[in-house]
Chains A and B, each alone.
Chain A
Amino acid sequence: MEIKTATAGTLESGDIVIQIAPGDGLQIDLDSSVSAQFGRRIKEVITETLEGLGISDATVTATDKGALDCTIRARVTAAAVRATGKDVWKD
């Protein structure tokens, strides 16, 4: 799947900014205010969401401000839609 660089999310408390760029294999660079306790889980949710959308090659830069799993999924999905041009909600 062809990928352009795209982002979704904000830096508000409880949100996460996801930037997706072209890459070889899946690479996640995470900066989180709750990384000690939830860093592992956040990467897991990002990976699962991208895999569910059929994306296995991408470089993801995530800046997290304590987002819940549902928010992370929504932001990753939105960024992926923008990056691939493939509207998962319509198609």
Chain B
Amino acid sequence: MRNSKVVTLEEAIRRSGLKDGMTISFHHHFRGGDKVVNLVVDKLAQMGFKDLKLAASSLSDVHAPLIEHIKSGVITGISTSGLRGELASAISHGLMKEPVVFRSHGGRGSAIASGELHIDVAFLGASSCDELGNASGCPRSENAKSICGSLGYALPDAQYADHVVVLTDDLVAYPNVPMSIKASQVESVVVVESVGDSSKISSGAIRDSKNPRDILLAKQAAKVILASGYFKDGFSIQTGTGGASLAVVKYLRESMIEQGIKASFALGGITAHMVKLHEEGLIGKLIDVQSFDKVAAESIANDQNHQEVSSIDYASADHLGSAVHALDIVILSALEVDTDFNVNVLVGSDGIIRGAIGGHPDTAEDSALSIIVCPLLRGRIPCVVPKVTTLITPGKGVDVVVTEYGIAVNPSRPELAKALAEAGLHVVDIKALAAKASSIIGQPDPLPFGDRVVGVVMDRHGKQLDTIHIIQE
């Protein structure tokens, strides 16, 4: 084809004008199955690059090989929504000189759009792409090797990066329509063996729980929704990751059918549960920033009413038109909630980074009703505490906390507490929950934090919210 942009990875990097000290970016739509980050950074190391800043929409267990590239000085800065596994542990123990910058998905979109997070070269994996760079997360030929559905987190990168390289494992005939990333945004196309293992998208934080406690919490959260006053025809809903919050939808479904209530849209990470309700006619539209499993990815490929949305249009605080502003109900999980309703979803109670901010603060702040679902204890680890280890979502955006020992309502929402109590739900003071936890597990010793800062948490408006300190053994 005339003007074909297909080149080798090495040639694409050379053409991009990438220099030491510049910022490269990646999306995480393949989650635990991602192959692009390691492939590209290995190549950059081989080509002799140093001091690169890696701006990923998120990183997970599979990115442990980055540890060596950090040690050798290829990567000297990271910004991401989350970190898990060996890489997270190494960073918590002081691997990097420069603190990792953590942003929510909406916060990252805003930072890219405002120029605060400037991307020099974006390396974006896609399940199909034509020779001119029209790219999609959906498979478009019988040779397709992968599927990730929505490319919502890659769209700000495609729009604002100085230079965009699309990597694909299925080069298809022009025109690859409908496209998510447009040819006009793309400088080079690189064909690789694999951009990601789609079977591993539904891993990590996303699991379908059979744990009886998760099911109990999910049922309680469904009751909160029914009694909240927001459960009426045309409502909108989002569920976060975590077994209990994902399962809430299953229990809402029955009430929706019984009472003839339909949702106008579901937002966010879209799961097979959401797709099922949509196909049954219970949810009008699916607004998808990230397809959380293969069923969701296949649905977005085939259904006009299942639409991709960029992280900016999903959750930016800078645009009143972003979808979170139209969201009624969000159900979220937590590692810790404190007695001021502040939430931590990033740093474990051992002080080691082990999660991701995701859209937690974005949806909590802008939705009409935010519900946190978490057990009182995980083993000997308390989830309701006097003060969160790391502040991620400020308590003013958190309305209800559902635990197996009772439901706490933010004092700023007395009408909600009244409605839940009148519906017969066990409403308790959040301080009583923290006291209950402490009475069972005893008084924990303080964590062995050092002075050095290894992580900085930015709020969704671009201000520093908290810092994460080095953990000492």
Contacts and interface: CB of A to CB of B under 8 A. Distances in A.
A38 B379 contact: no
Main secondary structure of the interface of B (DSSP, over half): loop
A69 to B, nearest CB: 6
A82 interface: no
Contacts of A66: 378-381
Interface string A24-60: 0000000001101111110000000000000000000
B260 interface: no
Which of A33, A34, A40, A65 is most buried by chain B, counting CB atoms within 10 A of its CB? A34
Given A68-B440, A68-B441, A37 B379 contact: no
Q: 3 smallest A-B Cβ distances: which pairs?
A: A66-B379, A37-B444, A66-B380
B379 A65 contact: yes
Nearest to A16: B380
A67 interface: yes
B116 interface: no
Interface of B: 349-351, 378-381, 440-442, 444-448
A6 to B, nearest CB: 24
A23 to B, nearest CB: 26
Contacts, number: 41
Contact of B381 (A34, A41, A69): A34
B351 A34 contact: no
Contacts of A39: 445
A55 to B, nearest CB: 23
Nearest to A42: B380
Nearest to B352: A36
A66 B441 CA distance: 10
Contact of A38 (B351, B444, B448): B444
A85 interface: no
Contacts of B448: 36
A37 B440 contact: no
Interface string A47-91: 000000000000000000111110000000000000000000000
B350 A36 contact: yes
